[in-house]
Amino acid sequence: MLLPLALTQFVASFAGSSMNVSITSISEDLGTTVHGVQTAITLFLLCMAALMIPGSKLTDILGRKRCLIAGLIVYGTGAVVAALAPVLGVLIVGYSAFEGVGSALMIPPIYILATVLYDTVESRARAFGVITGMGGIGAAAGPLIGGLITTSISWRVTFLLQAAIVGVVVLLSRRITDPLPADPSRHFDTGGAVLSAAGMFFIVIGILQIGINGLLLVVFLVLGAGLLYWFFEHIRSLERRGVEPLLSTGLFRNRTSNFAMVTQNVQWLMLMGTSFVVSVYLQVERGYSAIDTGLIFTATTAGILVSSLAAERLAKRRAQSTLIRAGFVITLVGLGLLLALVRSTSGVATYIPGLLFVGLGVGVMLTPSVNVVQSSFPEERQGEISGLSRSVSNLGSSLGTAIAGTILVSAASSGNRAYAYAIGSLAVAGLIGLAAAMFLPASPVGGKG
């Protein structure tokens, strides 16, 4: 059962990073700019984040297996549309919208099924290690695979590859048994879904205005924060009236889970932010081809693969919180190396140590963070916490591309200085994640909250 779940996570993560090495080719082919392609990538990640919570609630109402297969079909349709896109607008419809909606439906069932099927820290570490490891590998290997395909054939074939993988997963998913029955009688909070999605949308869109329009930056951030506050008050009001909200406010009262979700957000922010910044810098400033750029990211892929495969063994020997802290330290060392070694005229070898450490660090902490969050709640809340957890992670991916990417392409700076500012912003985020990890207990208390 883990194979289709892991492949689903792989293809969603692959889609978020494989575009990075094709930015030059896509912008030339579709007659757009680097910022235009960045917007498409960010909107894809944002769509996943904004709709992950409603998508997770639907798994309780419609069933996990049904949502998984429906999401795969929507995703595959979007991949085909993106492959045939004649202009940026159509690419955004297929890639950002259809693939984003499909991901929001198919990702929550993965973690719900893994949680209810494995009931110990070690067994969940094994399952989450496979799933999150494939997600990390998909994100890290995306530039390499995308670079090979873009250089040898066309960037459009990367989307056809995604559609082909989705077709295989649909066939494999038919054998999955859903251990929890669907409950169509449960209430779906439409108002909460709109408010939460709109709030996250305006915050990320506001960040994209860095260096472009200061007024819109402030307006969108304030509007997004206001909508998210309204969302929280909305779900509190529903609970007081005895109506089931989109999310239970009890999810936010679990201190361990809250800090672990902060670490999840920052992990993906650093991984996707690094992938975007280094990819764009190499192609735009240094003139590297898609394949050359992709090959450099082999170091990150190797790092994530090695540390993810060791997830179960590490979980038996070290506390989850220890692994998360160690992961942040290793990743911050990697970002430091990317700052210290890379120069405007330096060769390929200067990128490898930093990217390797980033991969090792992220791989070490991906599984423990998921395990801490999911293990903090009983089975009846797995649908809600899975959606919230995935939403927070994908919001991190979106913020990483938006914040670091926007700093890189901002008119306020250029060349090596812009690269340094962008990597520096990721390091600051990493310090915030490390600070949150310091508040995690030695071992999470399962079933609480």
Give residue-wise pLDDT tens across range 279-321: 888 888 888 888 888 888 888 888 887 887 776 678 778 888 9
Compute the CA torsion angle 313, 316, 319, 321 (nearest 10 deg): 40
> What is the distance between the alpha carbons of residues 199 and 85, in angstroms, rounded to a whole number?
29
Least trusted range by pLDDT, from 73-87, 175-189, 298-312, 401-415: 401-415
For position 448, what pLDDT does the model report? 41
Mean pLDDT of 238-250: 89
Is the pLDDT assigned to residue 259 strictly greater than 90? yes
Better pLDDT: 448 or 392 = 392
Better pLDDT: 109 or 167 = 167
- Count how many Cα atoms sit within 13 Å of the Cα of residue 332 in the half-sphere of its side chain: 16
Give the best-scoring range by mean pLDDT among 75-79, 245-249, 349-353, 444-448.
Answer: 75-79
Is the pLDDT assigned to residue 125 strictly greater than 80? no
For position 297, what pLDDT does the model report? 86
pLDDT bracket for residue 121 (50, 70, 90): low
Amino acid identity, position 158? T
Mean pLDDT of 96-118: 86
Task: Tell me yes or no: is domain 2-188+246-437 CATH 1.10.3720.10.
Answer: no
For position 410, what pLDDT does the model report? 67
For position 446, what pLDDT does the model report? 43
Is the pLDDT assigned to residue 102 strictly greater than 90? yes
Is the pLDDT assigned to residue 339 strictly greater than 70? yes
> Percent of the chain having pLDDT more than 70?
94
> What is the distance between the alpha carbons of residues 233 and 320, in angstroms, rounded to a whole number?
33
For the chain, report the end-to-end CA distance as a whole number of angstroms: 28
For position 412, what pLDDT does the model report? 43
For position 440, what pLDDT does the model report? 93
For position 137, what pLDDT does the model report? 78
The tens digit of pLDDT for each residue in 165-192 reads 999 999 998 888 777 778 888 888 999 9
For position 336, what pLDDT does the model report? 96
Is the pLDDT assigned to residue 403 strictly greater than 60? yes
Give the best-scoring range by mean pLDDT among 46-60, 152-166, 298-312.
Answer: 152-166
Rounded alpha-carbon distances, angstroms, from residue 216 to 158, 237, 425: 34, 31, 21
Phi, psi values for residue 127, rounded to 5°: -65, -50
Better pLDDT: 337 or 446 = 337
Tokens encoding 8: 């689903």
- 64-83 vs 156-173: helix crossing angle, rounded to 10: 160
Better pLDDT: 159 or 17 = 159
The tens digit of pLDDT for each residue in 205-225 reads 888 787 677 788 899 999 999
For position 449, what pLDDT does the model report? 39
Mean pLDDT of 37-60: 85
- Of 55, 72, 51, the C-alpha closest to 4 is 72
- Whole-model pTM: value is 0.81
> What is the distance between the alpha carbons of residues 131 and 396, in angstroms, rounded to a whole number?
18
Is the pLDDT assigned to residue 411 strictly greater than 60? no
Rounded alpha-carbon distances, angstroms, from residue 128 to 48, 125, 313, 446: 20, 5, 13, 16
**Are 48 and 100 in contact, with CB atoms under 8 Å apart?**
yes
Better pLDDT: 317 or 76 = 76
Ranges of each domain in the chain:
2-188+246-437, 190-245
- Of 9, 112, 7, the C-alpha closest to 59 is 112
For position 85, what pLDDT does the model report? 96
